[in-house]
Amino acid sequence: MGWFKNLISAPKTIDKALDAVVKGGDALIFTEEEKAEFHQKGSELYLKHIELTNKENSPTSLARRQISLLITIPFVFLTLGSGVFHAVGGYFEKPVLTEVAVHWQKLAMDDYSTLVMMVAVFYFGTHVVKGLKK
């Protein structure tokens, strides 16, 4: 008797399966209205993101600035110090100062140059890209 009941309810199951296939196919194709709605929602989310990240005195932006200073100050110190030691060592003919200058320059270039470049791209990358697009 169970198979007879399944046989009678089969058209309902087929209708459900057919509805699922039609809905799935419809979801794969964007109409012009759905595209416009999708782009509008994307624009709204982008504007919300800009509003949230545009606050210059938020704790997150202050922390970002402090971290960037922790990266750039040693780089600048090592680079300028290397130049000073190199100039003074060459002027007074002190090879020790020249060796220190080479060591400091190697520290600055090997350890800090990538980090400083990342900070520069983070803070100034959008302005560079906008300038290149023009």
Spatial neighbors of 83 by CB under 8 A, at least 6 apart, are: 101
Domain count, the chain: 1
Q: With 70 as the cut, is the pLDDT of residue 6 above it?
A: no
State pLDDT tens for residues 57-94: 677 778 888 999 999 999 999 999 999 998 988 887 88
Q: Say if 24 falls within a structural domain.
A: no
Confidence of residue 10 (pLDDT cuts 50, 70, 90): low
> What's the CA gap between 25 and 36, in Å, rounded?
19
pTM here is: 0.52
In angstroms, what is the C-alpha Rg of the chain? 32
- Residue 77 sits in which domain range? 32-133
Q: Are 104 and 82 in contact (CB under 8 A)?
A: yes
Q: With 90 as the cut, is the pLDDT of residue 9 above it?
A: no
Q: Say if 1 falls within a structural domain.
A: no
Q: Say if 11 falls within a structural domain.
A: no
Q: Say if 115 falls within a structural domain.
A: yes
State pLDDT tens for residues 23-57: 666 566 777 887 888 888 888 888 887 777 666 66
Q: With 60 as the cut, is the pLDDT of residue 3 above it?
A: no
Our measurement of the distance from residue 118's CA atom to the centroid of its chain's CA atoms, rounded to an integer in Å, reads 11
Q: Say if 8 falls within a structural domain.
A: no
Q: Say if 109 falls within a structural domain.
A: yes
Q: Say if 58 falls within a structural domain.
A: yes
Q: What is the pLDDT of residue 91?
A: 82
Q: Say if 122 falls within a structural domain.
A: yes
State pLDDT tens for residues 90-127: 887 888 888 999 999 999 999 899 999 999 888 888 77
